[in-house]
Amino acid sequence: MSRVSRWVVLVTAALGPAACGEAPPPVAVPGADREAEQFLARHWARPLAPQGEPPVHAKAHGIDLTPGSCAGCHAAQFDDWRTSLHAHAMGPGVLGQLVNMDADARDEHRSCIRCHAPLHEQEESLVRALSGTSDGAADTSSGGGTPLHEQGLVCAACHLRGYTWYGPPRRDGSLPAGDLSRSPHNAWQASPAFSDSRFCAACHQFEPDGYALNGKLLENTYAEWQASRHAREGRHCQSCHMPQRRHLWRGIHDPEMVRQGVDIRAGAPAVGAGQVAAILVLRNSGTGHHFPTYVTPRVVLEGYQEGADGRMIGGTLRQQVVARQVALDLSREIADTRIPADGEARFDYRAPVAPGAAALVLRVRVEPDAFYTAFYQSILSDGSAGRGAPHIRAALARSRASAFTLYADRQPLPPAGQRE
Ligand code: HEC
Ligand code: HEC
Ligand code: HEC
Ligand code: HEC
Ligand code: HEC
């Protein structure tokens, strides 16, 4: 069995049963209403049912299941969405694994697309592509452009069921009652569930019996949030990830977003007895769950000494990793040093003063896709990327490029003569 299919089987084992329309995780937020719970159980009952025929007035406006067909009237949401990872949820890393599946292995496809491209019509589009019967231009489900499944987590996946529109109540709290003739899709149904964390849990939280390592679910964001101060204070996923209802969903890939979620302090270096010592503290001050929540990113706290030429002096680098590290085949957890909400990590830099050291640099680097980088490298080198190899190579270049420096502090060290 190839690496890829082993990964698929593991994820399938984790998610398979949950794919069959089970309700999202149980409610534990005080006062949470049963109505929202029931709405979400229906809304996210996967596999999703076919939408059917678009209503005549929608047809008249050229509205179908593609985000492009919403853009004319909802330009603000469309312009945000297209830059988000939801819009890129069928990137080369996902497609590169799907192309190794048989065209008729629908359960296998579903174990991925239930989150990455959940519409029934996207499943059909994927099957056509895998069986080689889709002819881009003739693909009516996509309006003749990019096949619908490649468009990722589209507007319709969150807002349309049976070609009925659903959304949150209007910003002033009013509901779509009375004259709906203004709405070209005729009418829409409002549900407060759109502003509730459980809406996101449908894809960002495994079921209680899902795949776990070391007693902890592989995806546990909703439960981490529930246990945090943010849940008690009524701050939902949307409060931080969709401020003013914006459709950006910034997360670990966005340096500004990550900076908003943490508080970093570097102490002044102390030099004595031939040693340099300094402390770097990273506090999870504003992330509504563990920092980071998934097994895929890696955050590195590190320190090193620099010469007068601004270069790192060999042998002075010390590092501490903040991550939930797991084996590439997901068979075991190696370490879990993530920081729960309101917790902190302390990195103690300590090393002999290097000859010629002019400054101490303390910094925090973020590799949002560290797991994927290692995973892609491994399946490319052992050949199990198979037909997906060209996609996986593109995904590898992308996952490497996502790394960034979150924070850097450079403090001069006293010249050799002035050291104690
Ligand atoms: C021709 C213009 C037009 C097109 C195209 C269009 N909409 Fe709308 N949409 C409207 C109008 C007008 C309303 C009514 C706003 C109200 O009642 O406050 C609306 C309401 C909505 C709402 C409810 C807003 C809320 O406050 O919850 C959602 C969600 C929505 N549209 C999504 C979509 C999606 C998704 C598409 C594409 C599949 C789409 N719309 C295509 C004009 C359009
Ligand atoms: C329960 C929902 C869910 C399921 C099911 C799921 N994923 Fe994902 N996937 C996610 C989320 C959420 C992320 C973002 C994680 C991150 O950024 O660290 C992600 C990220 C990824 C990425 C990296 C980002 C990218 O687009 O390249 C790949 C590759 C991927 N998933 C492949 C798969 C494959 C293959 C399957 C099926 C075997 C699958 N996923 C099933 C939710 C899911
Ligand atoms: C991942 C699910 C998801 C996707 C994809 C998505 N939306 Fe939304 N949308 C939401 C949620 C959730 C809200 C409500 C946010 C809140 O209440 O804070 C919302 C709100 C809206 C509203 C009401 C905005 C307002 O200011 O009142 C409109 C209109 C809308 N979405 C249109 C779209 C369009 C158009 C697209 C695609 C370009 C899209 N959405 C993609 C989840 C989604
Ligand atoms: C239908 C499944 C689905 C739903 C519902 C959903 N997401 Fe996602 N989300 C995904 C997938 C899949 C990805 C990863 C996309 C990729 O990179 O391939 C993702 C990515 C993200 C990211 C980007 C993380 C990063 O690595 O930077 C954030 C933030 C996010 N989602 C927040 C939310 C919030 C908040 C909600 C609720 C309003 C929500 N999502 C609802 C499937 C979903
Ligand atoms: C108080 C603000 C806040 C709340 C509430 C919040 N988040 Fe986040 N989230 C952040 C910040 C800041 C980041 C970036 C730092 C990080 O990655 O942990 C982030 C990152 C993420 C990521 C990126 C992946 C990763 O490994 O970190 C995902 C996915 C995500 N959040 C989903 C959710 C979901 C789902 C909920 C609700 C259950 C939620 N968030 C609630 C602030 C918040």
Compute how many other C-beta atoms are within 10 angstroms of the C-beta atom of residue 306: 20
Cα separation, 177 vs 187, in Å, equals 9
Instruction: Give the number of the atom of ligand 2 that is nearest the alpha carbon of residue 251.
Output: 17
Residue 335, classified by CB atoms within 10 Å of its CB into exposed (0-12), middle (13-18) or buried (19+), is exposed
Instruction: Give the number of the atom of ligand 4 that is nearest the alpha carbon of residue 84.
Output: 23
Average pLDDT over the chain, rounded to an integer: 90
Query: Which residue ranges have their beta carbon within 6 Å of ligand 5?
Result: 197, 200, 204, 221-222, 225, 230, 235, 237, 239-241, 251-252, 257-258, 260-261, 286-289, 291-294, 297
Least confident of 49-53, 56-60, 100-104, 208-212: 56-60
- Average pLDDT for residues 160-179, to the nearest whole number? 88
How many residues are present in the chain? 420
Q: What spacing in Å lies between the alpha carbon of 32 and ligand 1's midpoint?
A: 27
What pLDDT, in 10s, does the model give residues 346-380? 999 999 999 999 999 999 999 999 999 999 999 99
Token reading at 79: 């312009």
Q: So what's the pLDDT on residue 102?
A: 97
Token reading at 135: 């002819």
- Average pLDDT for residues 96-106, to the nearest whole number? 97
Q: What spacing in Å lies between the alpha carbon of 359 and ligand 5's midpoint?
A: 35
Query: pLDDT category, 180, cuts 50, 70, 90?
Result: low
Q: What single-letter amino acid sits at 77?
A: Q
Token reading at 152: 């990722």
Q: Is residue 14 predicted with pLDDT exceeding 50? A: no
Cα separation, 2 vs 16, in Å, equals 20
Q: So what's the pLDDT on residue 17?
A: 32
Q: So what's the pLDDT on residue 415?
A: 79
**Closest residue (by CA) to atom 40 of ligand 3?**
155
Token reading at 112: 């991925």
Q: Is residue 70 predicted with pLDDT exceeding 70? A: yes
Cα separation, 205 vs 25, in Å, equals 8
Q: So what's the pLDDT on residue 10?
A: 40
Give this prediction's pTM.
Answer: 0.94
Those residues whose C-beta lies under 8 Å from the C-beta of residue 218, and which sit 6 or more positions away, are 14, 206, 210, 211, 212, 295, 326, 330
Q: Give the residue from 347, 361, 364 showing the smallest Cα distance to 410.
A: 361
**Closest residue (by CA) to atom 11 of ligand 5?**
287
Query: Residue 342, by phi and psi: left (phi above 0), alpha (psi -120 to 50) or beta?
Result: left
Cα separation, 80 vs 364, in Å, equals 28
What pLDDT, in 10s, does the model give residues 296-326? 999 999 999 999 999 999 999 999 999 999 9
Those residues whose C-beta lies under 8 Å from the C-beta of residue 58, and which sit 6 or more positions away, are 64, 163, 184, 185, 186
Least confident of 181-190, 244-253, 331-340: 181-190
The gap between the terminal CA atoms of the chain, to the nearest Å, is 61
Q: Could you give the C-alpha distances from 253 to 249, 298, 352, in angstroms and in order?
A: 10, 11, 35
Q: So what's the pLDDT on residue 135?
A: 53
Q: Is residue 76 predicted with pLDDT exceeding 70? A: yes
Domains and CATH numbers, the chain: 3-200 (no CATH), 255-368+403-418 (2.60.40.10)
